[in-house]
Amino acid sequence: MEFYSGDINKLIEELAALPGIGQKSAQRMAFYIINLPHDRVQRLSESIITAKEHAKYCQCCCTLTDQELCPVCSNPKRNHRMIMVVENPRDLIAYEKTGKYEGVYHVLHGAISPMNGIGPADIRLKELIERLKADVDEVIIATNSSLEGETTAMYISKLVRPAGIKVTRIASGVPVGGDLEYIDEVTLLRAFEGRTEI
């Protein structure tokens, strides 16, 4: 049964289709948007369209950006000889919030999951291997502590070790099955500082 007009229902449906947004949250967001001044709604819709049109992958680390290089990769003060491998851009942001990591990142955009038909060729491993041809001292594997994350970590370790590059894994301050984007900064920092060679 529809409670609202077609346009309002369509807005609620579109918002509810976003990850992490249920029907009630979508309704609250829809009513909030409808009650905004027209210029604020215009800015919101334009910012969504502009972000969608200009978003691309960083040529170096594969995170999302609107430039050729993301702010981390283009920063000459970062240690480009230390690469932290993460599953998605949200994990990168989680580590950046600690304010302690001074290296650069590589975003895989997923993890190896044979059960879901995701193999090594389906994530950004080829780009990582290409980056390792430069002068790299350490690869820190910061994939999630899930079965897929562990599988990906072991696969990367086997790829990198023959190149003579130090390979470490974040420590177990991150709970098994936990997603990095939901972990607090202190736990992430402890996991980073307690990383071990694999």
179-197 residue pLDDT tens: 777 777 767 776 777 776 7
Its pTM stands at: 0.76
Q: Distances in Å between the alpha carbon of 133 and those of 16, 80, 109, 129, 136?
A: 44, 12, 21, 7, 8
Average pLDDT for 96-121:
92
CATH class of 6-54: mainly alpha
Around Cβ 168, how many Cβ atoms within 10 Å?
A: 19
Domain boundaries in the chain? 6-54, 64-197
Tokens of 27: 């309704």
Q: Would you say residue 26 has pLDDT above 90?
A: yes
**% of the chain surpassing 90 pLDDT:** 67
Residue type at position 191 = A
Tokens of 74: 């283009």
Q: Would you say residue 1 has pLDDT above 60?
A: no
Average pLDDT for 104-110:
96
Classify 171 as helix, strand or coil: coil
Classify 106 as helix, strand or coil: strand
Q: Please, what is the average pLDDT of the chain? A: 89
The total number of residues shown for the chain amounts to: 198
Confidence of residue 171 (pLDDT cuts 50, 70, 90): confident
64-197 topology per CATH = Dna Topoisomerase Vi A Subunit; Chain: A, domain 2 (3.40.1360)
Q: Distances in Å between the alpha carbon of 135 and those of 57, 99, 132, 195?
A: 22, 24, 7, 21
Residue with tokens 């369209």: 49
Residue type at position 80 = H
Tokens of 11: 């807005």
Average pLDDT for 90-116:
93
What does the pLDDT read at residue 195?
Answer: 73
Q: Which of 132, 181, 180 is nearest to 156 (CA)?
A: 132
Give tens-digit pLDDT for 131-165: 998 899 999 999 987 888 889 999 999 999 888 89
Classify 40 as helix, strand or coil: helix
Average pLDDT for 75-98:
94
Q: Which residues on neighbouring strands pair with residue 141, listed in sequence order?
A: 85, 169
Residues 138 and 136: their CA atoms lie apart, in Å, by: 6
Task: Point out the least confidently predicted range of 97-101, 133-137, 160-164, 174-178.
Answer: 174-178
